[in-house]
Amino acid sequence: MLELYKDDLSVEEYHELYASAGWITPPKEQIEKALKNSLLTVKAKIGEKTVGMGRLIGDGSLSFMVKDVAILPEYQRQGIGKEIMKKMIAHIKLQIPRGQNVCVELFSGFGKESFYEQFGFDKKPDGFVGHGMMKLEAGEK
């Protein structure tokens, strides 16, 4: 049975799930700081096995960003990612007063756009805004 846990994601679980997505994993010290500074983490477990995660970052008022949604490959297409997204969106809705709007952003993995469209996310550009952009920056210390 699938269970979701709020703000209970360990560095080791994050590292394993991040790597399972084919992403180059950051150092564990960097993961620890990222988890500490997240607005919300959601961990999905089936039995004793951690099978998925999602992370929410932002200012908690005007801007939120969905990050690091990852499900172990053998557990994908079972609705786990959908449950994680629902939990994160519900958390956002509880943070904002009725009648106010916030911006919720994400970068989708290639071929995963339709997954996020079911939650109301739009591909960009769309006539309102241009392309999403990002830059990786190397540290100097």
Question: Greatest CA separation found in the chain?
Answer: 46
Q: Is 138 domain-assigned?
A: no
Q: Is 130 domain-assigned?
A: no
- Domains identified in the chain, total number: 1
Tens of pLDDT, residues 11-68: 999 999 999 999 999 999 999 999 999 999 999 999 999 999 999 999 999 999 999 9
Q: Is 34 domain-assigned?
A: yes
Tens of pLDDT, residues 92-141: 999 999 999 999 999 998 899 999 999 999 998 888 889 888 898 888 88
Q: Is 37 domain-assigned?
A: yes
Q: Is 92 domain-assigned?
A: yes
Q: Is 48 domain-assigned?
A: yes
User: Which domain range does residue 60 map to?
Assistant: 2-117
Residue pair 35/15 in contact by the 8 Å Cβ criterion: no
Q: Is 101 domain-assigned?
A: yes
Q: By CB neighbour count within 10 A (0-12 exposed, 13-18 middle, 19+ buried), where does 9 fall?
A: buried
Cα 82 from Cα 93, distance rounded (Å):
16
Cα 46 from Cα 25, distance rounded (Å):
24
Q: Is 134 domain-assigned?
A: no
